[in-house]
Amino acid sequence: MAPQPRLEGKVAIVTGGASGFGKGIATKFVEEGALVLIADLADEAGQGVAKELGCAFTVGDVTKREDWERLLKEAIDKFGRLDIVINNAGATYANKATEDVTEAEFDRVMNVNVKSVYLSTNVIVPYFMEKEISGNFVQIASTAGVRPRPRLTWYNASKAAVINATKAMAVEYGPQQIRFNSVSPVIGSTGMTHLFIGKANTPENRKAFESTVPLGRGSTPADVANACCYLASDEAAFITGVNLEVDGGRCV
Ligand SMILES: NC(=O)c1ccc[n+]([C@@H]2O[C@H](COP(=O)([O-])OP(=O)(O)OC[C@H]3O[C@@H](n4cnc5c(N)ncnc54)[C@H](O)[C@@H]3O)[C@@H](O)[C@H]2O)c1
């Protein structure tokens, strides 16, 4: 007998699904039977992914409350409900001395990485409570939030905030059966990698970062997607407040 798809009938929003880890998450979720709405700033790339996967796409900015309200409405209009939010969209400035980080760079990192989690939960938790849906959130944090590297100070701090807020909400909304978890990848090869390493994303240039990973390589979109699938599924019904490091042992 073929195994049951692990996200059968679940409706999921995946932010930043037009590339990198988010595309990997959307791919896995569709394979596992979820109805997926990708939200991303990148219109053309997002439409391409949606066509490839046979899922929905909408242009959306995770730092805007009105976009979150529209995303919730679109999920309900298209699929009848919402069960899962994957807060994957992220931003960083290029690896640099901390005293050189501009206020605009600081604000962007905090808005895209942290305010997005505030807005998504602020808009969607009341919906879950009103409809008595045991929904869940998975935020894509980073090993940077647990084991910070120099020259990425405010990116590290933004991901630490995400991990901490996720744990607080897990406790606060446990009685309503709403779950909150985060997944922390180590360096991968995506649209953001050149910024983390501060130079072109080549295997040679990634070596210094990957050399501190006991399993000897970076995170792939499939690694991240498999962890998200588990946490978002009913298999993880008793898992909340966890930060799952998908990092080949980097954080040990
Ligand atoms: N690549 C790595 O090494 C690495 C390691 C650990 C964690 N992460 C985290 O993984 C997540 C995914 O990033 P990625 O590495 O796949 O990079 P990526 O650049 O390939 O994907 C990020 C996506 O987010 C979208 N996005 C950016 N700002 C947005 C906004 N305001 N609203 C909507 N969409 C927006 C981009 O258009 C892009 O499609 C991020 O949260 C990042 O911090 C990445």
| pLDDT (tens digit per residue) in 42-62 | 999 999 999 999 999 999 999
Give the per-residue pLDDT at 60.
Answer: 98
136 Cα: distance to centroid of ligand 1 (angstroms): 20
Centroid of ligand 1 to alpha carbon of 190 (angstroms) = 8
120 touches ligand 1 (CB under 6 Å)? no
pLDDT tens by residue, 202-235: 999 999 889 999 999 999 999 999 999 999 999 9
- Report d(CA 43, CA 242) in Å as an integer: 32
Question: Per-residue pLDDT for 11 more than 90?
Answer: yes
Q: Is the CB of 169 under 6 A from ligand 1?
A: no
Distance from C-alpha of 111 to C-alpha of 17, rounded to nearest angstrom: 18
**What CATH number does the domain located at 11-246 have?**
3.40.50.720
- 230: annotated active-site residue: no
pLDDT tens per residue across span 156-184: 999 999 999 999 999 999 999 999 999 99
Mean pLDDT of 148-162: 98
Catalytic residue among 127, 155, 173, 230: 155
Long-range contacts from 46-54, C-beta under 8 angstroms, 24+ separation: 46/17, 46/18, 48/18, 49/17, 49/18, 49/19, 49/23, 53/26, 53/27, 54/30
- Over residues 67-93, the mean pLDDT reads 98
Span 130-143, average pLDDT = 98
101 lines ligand 1 (CB under 6 A): no
Is 187 in a helix, a strand, or coil?
Answer: coil
pLDDT of residue 23: 98
Q: What is the average pLDDT value for the chain, to the nearest integer? A: 98
In 30-126, at which residue ranges do the beta strands (DSSP E only) sit?
A: 35-40, 56-59, 84-87
**Which pLDDT value is given to residue 2?**
77
- The mean pLDDT of 121-139, rounded to a whole number, is 98
Pocket probe for ligand 1: among 13, 14, 15, 21, the residue whose CB has the most ligand atoms within 8 Å is: 21
